[in-house]
């Protein structure tokens, strides 16, 4: 815990020291900032962020159920047993998300997906994953 506090204290010192040079910190001035994405739904009905997250969670849920099916029913097969390991969850999720996206495009609702907003959601999730994994170590 002391190591984390020391690192946090050092980070805050660097932040306070170099606040004048914002590009070194990854911060943008107001003039250089861009939008996170375009609204795809009316906020009175469903929030755009909630809609994009629901698509993401739908893909996660399908992948989870698919992986559970593989582990229970196809465990004895040598190649499938290796491919159905939980360590490859991301790969299977990528395949499921591609199928879901092609289905959404096929039914004519592809314009509802905001690639830019989904990239920001993914970036936030990766940042959260890294911070939590470092705190566990």
pTM recorded for the entire structure: 0.66
Rg of the chain over all Cα atoms, to the nearest angstrom: 21
Contact assessment for residue 40 and residue 114, using Cβ atoms and an 8 Å cutoff: yes
**pLDDT tens profile 26-74:** 666 666 656 666 677 777 778 888 888 999 999 999 999 988 888 887 7
What pLDDT was estimated at residue 33? Answer: 59
Among residues 39, 96, 40, the alpha carbon closest in space to that of 64 is found at 96
């Amino acid at each position: 815990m002391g190591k984390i506090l020391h690192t946090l204290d050092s980070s805050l010192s660097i932040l306070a020291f170099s606040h004048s040079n914002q590009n070194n910190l990854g911060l943008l001035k107001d003039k250089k900032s861009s939008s996170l994405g375009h609204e795809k739904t009316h906020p009175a009905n469903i929030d755009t962020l909630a809609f994009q997250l629901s698509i993401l969670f739908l893909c996660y849920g399908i992948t989870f159920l698919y992986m559970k099916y593989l582990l229970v029913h196809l465990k004895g097969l040598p190649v499938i047993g290796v491919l159905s390991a939980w360590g490859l969850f991301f790969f299977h999720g990528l395949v499921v998300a591609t199928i879901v996206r092609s289905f959404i495009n096929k039914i004519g609702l592809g314009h509802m997906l905001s690639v830019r907003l989904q990239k920001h959601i993914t970036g936030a999730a990766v940042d959260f994953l890294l911070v939590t994994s470092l705190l566990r170590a």
